[in-house]
Amino acid sequence: MSFDFHLELTRIWENAVSLYKAGHTDAASFPLEDDLPLLATWGLSKIDLFDYAEDWCIHQEPDFHTFLLVHYERWFYFSEVQNCKPSSVLLVSSSLPAKTDRAKGVVWLPRIIPKARAKLRGELSNDVMYGCGGDRQFFKDNNIHPAEFLRVVRRLNNDDQAIIQWVFDRLHRDDSTC
């Protein structure tokens, strides 16, 4: 990452939003070719920009700051854990738990855990977005920021039960003590 990572990512985000608003609404032909080499050095791809720009233009969420924080977590994982080597694995959307599945009574939690791992590893297929509408509802319902959840998943790694317990504890925490 360079000193001006946040400035470059801001520029690329603003360009992606402008392109989408100008009618470039197809992910496959989304014209970001000039920025793809730079994005690749951060472990990001065209679909990372397209999905967030599209949802911003249609739903006004997730906002730029969420986009920046989520993709900072991706960059951190890419550089520190993956040693700047992209994964060759892709998460198959049909392998995800059902949208209605629950863990400790929390809907969507079994689904968001593998999505978060795949986001950290850069393994989301083009038909899966970390931060989609269902994810956003999960985060709102449970008062969790998407970037915070990525940090928790990174820290707790493959321990699903610990992640589930963290969410459950978070839901039942008295915020006046923290």
Q: What angle do CA 135, 138, 143 make, to 5 degrees?
A: 125
Domain range summary for the chain, segments of one domain joined by +:
1-86, 88-173
In angstroms, the Cα distances linking 41 to 9, 128, 173 are 12, 22, 39
In angstroms, the Cα distances linking 73 to 20, 56, 152, 155 are 25, 20, 11, 12
For residue 68, report the phi and psi dihedrals to the nearest 5 degrees. -65, -45
Nearest alpha carbon to residue 86 among 122, 38, 125, 45: 122
Residue 102 DSSP SS3: strand
Quote the pTM value.
0.93
pLDDT of residue 36: 96
- Within 13 Å and on the Cβ side, how many CA atoms surround 28? 1
Residue 108 CA, distance from chain mean position: 15
Longest Cα pair distance anywhere in the chain, in angstroms?
50
CA–CA gap between residue 107 and residue 128 (Å, rounded): 18
pLDDT of residue 5: 85
Per-residue pLDDT of the chain (178 residues; tens, 9 = 90+): 677 888 999 999 999 999 999 999 999 999 999 999 999 999 999 999 999 999 999 999 999 999 999 999 999 999 999 999 999 999 999 999 999 999 999 999 999 999 999 999 999 999 999 999 999 999 999 999 999 999 999 999 889 999 999 999 988 876 655 5
